[in-house]
A and B are shown apart, each in its own frame.
Chain A
Amino acid sequence: MYLPATDPILMKLMVTGPFGVGKTTFVRSLSEIPTLHTEETMTAQGIPVDDTARIPGKTATTVAVDFGRLTLPGGDLVLYLFGTPGQRRFLPLWEDLARGALGALVLADTRRLADAFDAMDLIEEAGLPYAVAVNRFPDTPPIELDKIRAALDLDPATPLIECDAREREGCLDALIALTEHVLDRLPQETAP
């Protein structure tokens, strides 16, 4: 349960997408700890709050944020995965959660592909690099990635991969594709 005593550097990636797309499953497949969650409260105006008792007359939504942890070999780097809802109305909360994140993975379901647009908008607004992973459900028809790329109107540089959120290997591949893309987008360092 505790962090390795190696004083690791902690990094963060976001996993987002519509409700029921498999974010929690994805995080669980990779996490070395039982996935944890915090309840985040947000007013109808989209402002994150701690306790609605303090703002009478405001209605609030509680949003569950699932997260997991993955210590990389060597123990000096620990990756946190935050599974967050991908609805645009969550933008202020999302920006707060994503502060310091390297990038985001959008999970999509081919049976309701259009639901992924919201998450893509959200991430673009937050200014994070992202990749899209299509979660293969047992009843998903054969996936044709080029058609999905066209339907989602993805930038040619944006990685699009297929995975099964229940299988660790494919989830790792999705994170690798995302991290490669993050790296492509980072400026080359100039010599000091």
Chain B
Amino acid sequence: MTTPSGPRRRLVPAYLATQGRELAPGRQTLDRLSILHAAADLPAGLGGEHRQLWELVRPGALTVAEAAAHLRLPVSATIFIAADLAERGALQVRAPIPSAQPVNRDLAERLLSGLRALK
């Protein structure tokens, strides 16, 4: 299994995990609920936090927030690493609401009937 085992202390600060760069390309398109799923093989030369994230989302999809919590990384560093992997084709990224539509009545109605159905 590829889930990190047990609590783990991060040995490098977050900005080193991102190799000291400031902003990832495409970062603005990722947020806490962007959905990550490993696509291709991990490109050679990527290790550390990149590998951990890629391995985490190989068996299935997770949001950025969940991946950050599992890897014990700040959300912003996770976004950075995910954008890096996506740029190299190793990660599929999907928006929480596919067509990027704003919250509309249809979605709110579906949420309401879903919540009622849970009772």
Q: Does B103 contact A (CB under 8 A)?
A: yes
- Give me 11 A-to-B residue pairs in the complex whose CB atoms sit less than 8 angstroms apart, sorted by A's number: A9-B98, A11-B107, A36-B65, A40-B75, A72-B115, A72-B118, A100-B33, A172-B119, A173-B119, A180-B112, A186-B108
Q: A189, B105: Cβ atoms under 8 Å?
A: yes
CA A179 – CA B97 in complex, angstroms?
A: 18
Q: B31, A50: Cβ atoms under 8 Å?
A: no
CA A189 – CA B101 in complex, angstroms?
A: 13
* Most A C-beta atoms less than 10 A away, residue of B14, B63, B116, B118: B118
Extra A-B contacts (4), CB below 8 Å, given A2-B62, A5-B60, A180-B112: A7-B94, A11-B96, A176-B116, A187-B105
Q: A50, B14: Cβ atoms under 8 Å?
A: yes
Q: How many residues of A contact B (CB 8 A)?
A: 46
Residue of A nearest to B32 (CB): A97
Q: A186, B103: Cβ atoms under 8 Å?
A: yes
Q: B61, A50: Cβ atoms under 8 Å?
A: no
Scan residues 56-82 of chain A and give those whose CB is less than 8 A from a CB of chain B: 67, 69-70, 72-74, 77, 79-80
Residues on A lying within 8 angstroms of B by beta carbon are: 1-3, 5, 7, 9-12, 33, 36-41, 50-51, 53-54, 67, 69-70, 72-74, 77, 79-80, 97, 99-100, 102, 169, 172-173, 175-176, 179-180, 182-183, 186-189
* Most A C-beta atoms less than 10 A away, residue of B68, B94, B97, B114: B114
